[in-house]
Structure 1
Amino acid sequence: MPGDKTTKPSLQLMTNIEKRSVNNLSAIPKEEYLFKCTSACAGCSSSLCLRYVLKAAGPDSVLVVPACCTSVLQGIYPGTAMNVPVYNIAFAAAAACASGMSNAFATLGRKTNVIVYAGDGGTVDIGIQALSGAFERGTDFLYICYDNEAYGNTGMQRSGSTPLGARTTTTPGGKPTAKKDLDRIVEAHNPPYMATACSAYPLDLYKKVKKALSIPGPKFIHILAPCPPGWRYPSEKTVEMGKLAVKTGTWVLYEREFGKLSISGPSKAAMRKPAPLEDYIKGQGRFKNIDPEVLEEMRQQVERNIQRLSREEAGIC
């Protein structure tokens, strides 16, 4: 349970951790809240992300998990891989459940972190109404969407987050429409903090989760989580695939704190001179035999997004 003395680090240890400047992975706490007995696929980046999310959050945290890969990889109680309480909930209800849970903890005078950890299907599509409602109500919680760009738990059907041109089981010829811009939808709710992250940059993710949890109100982090079986690349290439997404500008890392946009270091360097989009596309079987016109449209989407974010950071309307 939250605050259990068997898992909670000592007050002195927590104080020492907070005083340290976390500028490298060795400074991240050694405590583990996601054990090695998960049933995740080889090369699963969402489980890697969750490991660092929980390290940042600490033991006094509760996960709300809708139907998604995480609800499977956690294992079957009592043999669960999770070392924090988990509440499994229906696809559409994660943010609504978190609202009630957050209010209950506040009534009890508890500071327990309430974190929704949901896939793109349960966020971009089925769960978006509950997400919007929780943000509109000002719920004090952190909503994290780990995005593998399809319904991974049920065989990689297309989701609203699947990118243009990607082949899934329900778009065998390539998805004909662009990826839904979830971040701009969330931005319209004016949360005090939102950010993007990627599994290939765990230190960046850790810092963003720590910052998010230090700010009252609704917070949102959108993580790109490459998926070997779904994206059809070798499992040992997961970190490389995430880095290529950032280096090509396909995925831009940033924070928006009280409306102020700051592009994160790895993306600042990449946006000055992005790597060729083909470097990212060619290693993924889901883009095999992609039409040159579709590839060009993808390139233009990347360029437009980079320009928009660069102008916003510079204060240019």
Structure 2
Amino acid sequence: MEIETDERFGHEEELFVPGHRACPGCGAALACKLVTEATGPNTIMAMPTGCMEVTSTPFPESAWGISWIHNVFENAAAVAAGVETAYKAFTERGKEEYMDYDDVNFVVMAGDGATFDIGIRSLSGMMERGHDVLYICYDNEAYMNTGIQRSGSTPLGASTTTSPAGRESYGEDVHKKDMPKIAAAHGVEYVATANIAYPEDFQDKIKKALEIEGPKYIQVFTPCPRGWRNDSRNVIKIGKLAVQTAVYPIYEMEDGEITNVKKIKERKPVEEYLKLQGRFKHLFEKEGGEKIIQELQRVADENAEKLGLDK
């Protein structure tokens, strides 16, 4: 296969290659490709157990063209911090011929379950200690690999296997955790949200983050056709609607302050986003579901007002 050189990133290698086992239309797989294009070959990535670990590295194969480390659910940030510390120590001792700290990008790529819930302790520690690591959360809003269980990222009203819609339930009963705000509260210099439906914006944020010394956090929206029960052809459409409805705003925070947001020309009602996903189907069929839709619309309106999203 002939691969054209991407002048934006200065390398021509395909660093996340075809042949992985991800589902058709997998938002997280697209995120992996976009990340490796932006970080380049001089990257060491730690990745915990999850969809992308399972689908991209079935022994003895691997879809990764970078140095890649699998670790358990709870310690990706700690592993990356250890690698970064080792490289830094060798460089300070004049051992650049073995390890050159300044030429390596230290990256974590983890799902929301390993970020919002199981791995939040090691992530907090990595940020607190100030390691030069870029942490990227691919956010598909549930534990997709182990059976579509709810996570701290699952939005209100979504039906999962552990927050199922039923006679007495409208699905998930609490709002999504605000992880970018939690990261910013650690004093992290650069925090951003992104979306695979806006790939250049995502990659520009990765490049910007890598220029900053210290911990960085980017959370990228990655629709999951299997878990969200949507047509795989609609993944990009759903991604754009998340932004256009203000359900999932795209913004940057620097030193705890919002510095840049993606404006919305004509904001759309939240219903347009929800209707494309089977995980919200019950809200349109079950009596009382309209109250959940109204609450989700209220949150979107609040996002728009707080961030100044409307043009």
Shorter chain as normaliser: what TM range?
A: 0.7 to 0.9
What aligned pairs does 1:1-317 form with structure 2 within 5 A after superposition?
17=7, 30-109=12-91, 110-111=101-102, 112-173=104-165, 174-264=171-261, 267-268=262-263, 270=264, 273-290=266-283, 291-310=289-308
Q: Does the 8 Å CA contact 1:224/1:242 hold for their aligned counterparts?
A: yes
Separation in 1, partners of 2:197, 2:10: 16
TM-score computed with the length of structure 1 as normaliser: 0.86
Query: Which structure 1 segments of 5+ residues have no match?
Result: 1-12, 312-317
Separation in 2, partners of 1:47, 1:310: 31
Separation in 1, partners of 2:80, 2:188: 16
| AA matched with 2:298 | Q
- SS of 2:282's partner is coil
Separation in 1, partners of 2:136, 2:119: 12
Separation in 1, partners of 2:176, 2:300: 12
| AA matched with 2:73 | F
Deviations 1:160-195 (A, max 9, x none): 100000000111111111111111111111211111
- SS of 1:288's partner is helix
Deviations 1:136-159 (A, max 9, x none): 100110000000000010111000
Deviation at 1:213, TM superposition (A): 0.6
Separation in 1, partners of 2:127, 2:306: 24
Separation in 2, partners of 1:166, 1:230: 10
- SS of 1:154's partner is coil
Separation in 1, partners of 2:63, 2:124: 30
| AA matched with 2:308 | S
- SS of 1:296's partner is helix
Stretch deviating more after TM superposition (239-248 or 28-37): 28-37
TM-score computed with the length of structure 2 as normaliser: 0.88
Deviations 1:113-149 (A, max 9, x none): 1111000000000011111111110011000000000
Separation in 1, partners of 2:256, 2:197: 26
Separation in 1, partners of 2:259, 2:225: 30
Deviation at 1:106, TM superposition (A): 1.1
> Who is 1:5 aligned against?
none
Q: Does the 8 Å CA contact 2:116/2:177 hold for their aligned counterparts?
A: yes
- SS of 1:121's partner is helix
Q: Does the 8 Å CA contact 1:96/1:130 hold for their aligned counterparts?
A: yes
Greater percentage in helix: 1
| AA matched with 1:231 | W
Separation in 1, partners of 2:144, 2:232: 15
Deviation at 1:107, TM superposition (A): 1.5
| AA matched with 1:309 | L
RMSD after superposition? 1.8
The share of aligned pairs that are identical, in percent, is 43
Query: Which structure 2 segments of 5+ residues have no match?
Result: 92-100, 166-170, 284-288
Q: 1:204/1:28 Cα in 2 relative to 1: closer, same or farther (>3 Å)? A: farther
